[in-house]
Amino acid sequence: MSENPNIILINCDDLGYGDLGCYGSSKNNTPHLDKLATEGMRFTDFYMASPVCSPSRGAMMTGCYPPRIGFGEFDGQIVLFPGDPIGLSADETTVASQLKSAGYATKIIGKWHCGDQPEFLPTRHGFDEYFGIPYSNDMGRQVDRPDRPPLPLLRNETVIQAQPDQRGITERYTDEALQFINAHQEEPFFLYLAQMYVHVPLFVPKQFLESSRNGAYGGAVECIDWSVGVLMDHLKELGIEENTLVIFTSDNGSRARDEGGSNQPCRGTKATTWEGGQRVPCIMRWPAKIPAGTTCEAITTAMDFFPTLSKLVGIDVSSERIIDGFDISGLMMGDGSEPPNDTFFYYLRNSLEAVRVGDWKLHLRKDSEVVNELYNLREDIGETKNLYSERADIVDALSKKAAAIREDIGDEATGIVGKNNRPIGRIENPQTLTEYREDHPYMIAMYDLPDMPTLSG
């Protein structure tokens, strides 16, 4: 049996900073995730590189800010859509391809959203296997969007079902994960489980709806929690939990509208560069290495997964390709090492909207307008007290950081083209994975809940 850890990365969809009990929720029942936190490390200042999903997921896979890999925007759209001719470039290296080169069995289950053409699918980016819906669950045929192609469920690169019953998807994903773990328990494996929940529309199994104190949203969160509980129990049964690193997080903040999500105590929502759009839960558990019941308050990001996991398995990160993540293995182990990074840049599309250095966050733009706002996030996580006029020294220091990143990867709002960006992947003659057929016996021909106007992702 390998000394390298098994790695399970669980990434939820639109789960907010305040949606778990261990992050302060009093609405949602999350006993398994709360236990995960007590047995591992909870990160308080963990960020996704974008407040929407395609750029967020591309950044997590490659360790790069979205504009660096051409993922700032997608031919004018904020996320990728079915049949788009663009996606993650074949020239990019992913976490999966790094781990595969170290002898890992690799699988993704769930939402990919980095391109749905064959050239962009996860099986072309380091994953041995794929099972899942390749983009958001609202991108199928719905009562308010009847002209969309049917929602595809893929195995590797083949559509095995169109318009599946979404109430059963999390159970199917969990079962698929158990089968993969069983098949590879004697060798190191990397499982990326990209949950469907809690992206709207929310189709939730009856038992979780009935036990929820927060409607369908709370039921969906409980279903995620159940899935985590099943996985953790199975690892224990197989006797491999001690040397399995489990990472739990979310691709961006909650919509935090009337469906029940929360980013509290952060301000803002998904698709914004306030804290609520990009600061998300992150829990890591690895009994052999990570001290139980600990908290990390350093600035950390999903881009850190690429260099950190590479380091843990003894694979060098190429110095020829710029990445933006940092090795946070020392922080994870609680070895007392200094945080490797104190800076985070908040991009929306290809425009720089804010900068954080240490406890301070400077807002530069919001909704295409220049703003002058400065907050001390350690004292004011809700971004309520603007200190811009009181701390010219901090404004000056953070403005210099902003100027440097603009030179590096650009800022469309100020007309600056970055010097170190790489192009998105692009093909000719794209096709959607599915087409609607009136004579096909779909299980769910038309989803009966509207997706509600939203920035899909």
Q: Is the bond leading into 265 cis (omega within 30 degrees of zero)?
A: yes
234 is a catalytic site residue: no
Task: Sort residue 248 into left (φ over 0), alpha (ψ -120 to 50) or beta.
Answer: beta
Q: Of the candidates 376, 281, 253, 366, which has an alpha carbon nearest to the alpha carbon of residue 45?
A: 281
210 contact partners, CB below 8 Å, separation of at least 6: none
Both structure tokens of 118: 């064959």
CA distance 134 to 334: 36
| Among 32, 113, 184, 199, the one annotated catalytic | 113
With beta carbons less than 8 A apart as the criterion, state whether 170 and 190 touch.
no
Which residue in the block uniquely carries the two structure tokens 């983009």?
A: 135
Q: How far apart are CA 8 and CA 174, in angstroms?
A: 12
At 277, give phi and psi (nearest 5°): -85, -30
| Catalytic hit among 53, 64, 114, 296 | 53
Residue 114 a catalytic site member: no
CA-to-CA distance for 80 and 117, rounded, in angstroms? 11
Tokens of 233: 């129990």
C-alpha distances in Å from residue 129, one per residue of 12, 16, 126, 246: 19, 29, 9, 19
Whether residue 198 is preceded by a cis peptide bond, meaning omega within 30 degrees of 0, is yes
Q: Rounded to whole angstroms, how far apart are CA atoms 284 and 333?
A: 10
Q: How many CB atoms lie within 10 A of CB 146?
A: 10
DSSP codes joined into one string, 337-357: PPPS--EEEEEETTEEEEEEE
Asked if residue 116 lies in contact with residue 427, where contact means CB atoms within 8 angstroms, the answer is no
- CA 200 vs. chain centroid, Å, equals 16
Helix (H, G, I), strand (E, B) or coil at 204: coil
Q: Catalytic residue positions?
A: 53, 113
